[in-house]
């Protein structure tokens, strides 16, 4: 028997309470809170033939991108596949997608979810999974367009519309349409203040536009809406970026120590990714982080040879390089070298084209071979989207390239690269401080002084704004 969910999508069950339970778990997932997998597992204990329950569990686990999750995900996929004959076409589309994901064909998995959306544009689970997969794969255009393709079926009368607006907001931001992105994101948050993904989408807009004070206010003024959720770690990272740009390093360390550095092994790669990315930015600024790298390197050590997701590998490499863990650096490089020559899944291309060159560049940087780091990074700087993640996350590659160029005396190249940054984000004090270093290296003292003055002016104006507030 088939019933309909709150958005009119078909679910293979004769028990409406199962749909209620499924939607409650999905609501937690959309809000990045609670334990949606645990919730659906409780349902499946009593209803092992609930197709969409198994689909939901497996689909959620696809987004973890961690080897420790793989066996559990595979079991969930097999459980869903065992119910194929009882599944409707929408559910079979989901099963196809998660099977392709488990097999490493990420791009076909996303297209399978897209096929579901063509027939079922209000399938919010398919939309969420396809959108988040686009982020993992760095498909910026589809982060915008995949959501746009279903907007005709959505309005405020449909439950969950705010989440759709949030996905669209993020896609618009990644495609540089900041005005529309901010409008959509703020509208989503107005509809549901606890929608942390939409809060995050607006935070991205403010980061890319260099509106640091606005970003600090945006996140701190609604802290109660996101502090306690599963997305809090990443939003603390965003808050720290604004403070880095404003040279407020005491506040950065306060955020790191309280919110980005958990005790013991977190077993949460997203937490460890944000921690590594923040500390590496500080390393590029020659900021002493004391012993923070060591604890983080210990957390990353078990994943040194994972080769599951290139984005993870480069952050592991940053951590090992910064903490002088030569043995672990060698493990990452050796594992990735073997991987690109022996496997054929979607992550291979990500690793070969961006991940492995970046890992090699990090190793060169750690050895002080800055010329080599530049030579490895410069050719890939316009291909970095293939690594996955967002513009804000991938900016660490460009910052590493610039810092390496400055350190090896290739000041004209650094000047050119930094000129791009000051044009795109002229309100960033850190961009102007980089420009001052590049101009000084080119023996252009006048422009170096002007760039430094610009940075100081931006910092002073920020302080004045805070005092007025």
Which of 58, 38, 150 shows the shortest CA–CA distance to 100? 58
Cα–Cα distance for residue pair 386/350, rounded to 1 Å: 6
Residue after which a domain boundary falls, among 116, 131, 146? 131
Q: Measured in Å, how far apart are the chain's first and last C-alpha atoms?
A: 60
Domain contains 4: yes
Q: How confident is the model at residue 84 (pLDDT cuts 50, 70, 90)?
A: very high
Distance between CA atoms of 1 and 179, rounded to whole angstroms? 46
pLDDT value of residue 68: 82
| 201: in domain | no
The answer to whether position 347 is within a domain reads no
CA distance 305 to 316: 10
| Coil, helix or strand at residue 3 | strand
For all residues of the chain together, what is the average pLDDT?
95
Q: Enter the tokens of residue 282.
A: 């500080």
User: In residues, how long is the chain?
Assistant: 469
Nearest-angstrom CA–CA distance, 366 and 360: 10
pLDDT attached to residue 65: 79
- Helix or strand holding residue 27 (H, E): helix 16-30
Please tell me the distance from the alpha carbon of residue 98 to that of residue 55, in angstroms, as a whole number.
8
pLDDT score recorded for residue 463? 65
Say if 75 falls within a structural domain.
yes
* CATH for 121: 1.25.40
pLDDT (average), residues 428-437: 98
In this structure, is the dihedral angle defined by the CA atoms of residues 385, 387, 389 and 390, taken in order, positive or negative? negative
For residue 468, pLDDT over 50 is answered with: no
Quick one: average pLDDT of 107-134? 98
**Is 90 within a domain?**
yes
Say yes or no to pLDDT of 461 above 90: no
- Share of residues in the chain with pLDDT > 70 (%): 97
Number of domains the chain contains: 2
> pLDDT band at residue 265, thresholds of 50, 70 and 90?
low
Q: Which of 131, 152, 179 is the last residue of a domain?
A: 131
Domain that holds residue 429: 409-468
Residue 233 lies in a domain: no
This model's pTM is above 0.85: yes
Position 352 pLDDT exceeds 70 = yes
* Residue 456, domain member (yes or no): yes
In-domain check, residue 35: yes
pLDDT above 50 for 467: no
Burial label, 185 (beta-carbon count in 10 A; 0-12, 13-18, 19+) = buried
Structure confidence at residue 344 as a pLDDT band (50, 70, 90): confident
Per the structure block, which two tokens stand in for 146? 């995949």
Which of 131, 149, 184 is at the close of a domain?
Answer: 131
Rounded to an integer, the average pLDDT of 75-85 is 96
Q: What is the pLDDT of residue 262?
A: 74
Strand 2-4 relative to strand 10-12, pairing:
antiparallel
Q: Where do we find the tokens 């540089």?
A: 176
pLDDT value of residue 66:
80
């Amino acid at each position: 028997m088939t019933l309909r969910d709150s958005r009119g999508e078909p679910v293979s069950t004769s028990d409406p309470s199962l749909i209620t339970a499924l939607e409650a778990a999905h609501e937690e997932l959309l809000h990045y809170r609670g334990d949606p997998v645990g919730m659906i597992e409780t349902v499946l204990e009593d209803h092992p033939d609930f197709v969409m329950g198994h689909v939901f569990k497996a689909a959620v686990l696809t987004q973890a991108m961690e080897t420790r999750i793989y066996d559990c995900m595979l079991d969930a996929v097999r459980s869903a596949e065992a119910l194929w004959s009882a599944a409707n076409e929408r559910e079979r589309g989901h099963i196809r997608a998660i099977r392709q994901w488990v097999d490493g064909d990420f791009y076909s998995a996303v297209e399978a979810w897209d096929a579901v959306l063509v027939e079922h544009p209000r399938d919010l689970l398919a939309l969420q999974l396809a959108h988040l997969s686009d982020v993992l794969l760095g498909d910026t255009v589809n982060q915008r367009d995949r959501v746009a393709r279903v907007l005709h079926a959505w309005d405020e009368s449909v439950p969950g519309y705010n989440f759709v607006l949030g996905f669209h907001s993020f896609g618009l931001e990644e495609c540089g349409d900041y005005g529309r992105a901010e409008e959509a994101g703020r509208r989503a948050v107005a509809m549901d203040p606890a929608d942390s993904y939409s809060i995050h989408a607006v935070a991205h807009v403010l980061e890319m536009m260099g509106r640091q004070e606005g970003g600090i206010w945006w996140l701190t003024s609604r802290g109660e809406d996101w502090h306690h959720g599963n997305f809090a770690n990443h939003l603390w990272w965003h808050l720290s970026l604004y403070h880095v740009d404003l040279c407020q390093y005491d506040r950065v360390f306060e955020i790191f120590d309280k919110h980005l550095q958990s005790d013991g092994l977190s077993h949460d790669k997203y937490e460890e990714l944000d921690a590594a990315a923040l500390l590496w930015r500080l390393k590029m600024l020659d900021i002493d982080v004391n012993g923070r790298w060591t604890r983080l390197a210990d957390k990353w050590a078990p994943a040194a040879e994972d080769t599951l997701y290139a984005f993870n590998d480069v952050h592991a490499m940053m951590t090992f390089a910064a903490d002088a863990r030569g043995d672990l650096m060698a493990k990452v490089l050796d594992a990735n070298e073997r991987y690109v020559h022996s496997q054929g899944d979607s992550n291979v291309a990500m690793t070969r084209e961006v991940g492995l060159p970046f890992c090699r560049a990090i190793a060169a940087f750690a050895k002080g071979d800055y010329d080599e780091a530049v030579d490895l990074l410069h050719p890939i700087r316009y291909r970095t989207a293939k690594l996955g993640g967002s513009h804000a996350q991938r900016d660490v590659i460009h910052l590493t390239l610039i810092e390496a160029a400055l350190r090896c005396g290739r000041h004209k190249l650094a000047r050119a690269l930094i000129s791009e940054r000051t044009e795109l984000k002229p309100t960033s004090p850190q961009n102007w401080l980089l420009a001052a270093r590049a101009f000084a290296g080119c023996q252009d003292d006048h422009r170096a002084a002007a760039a430094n003055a610009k940075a100081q002016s931006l910092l002073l104006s920020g302080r004045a704004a805070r005092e007025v507030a």
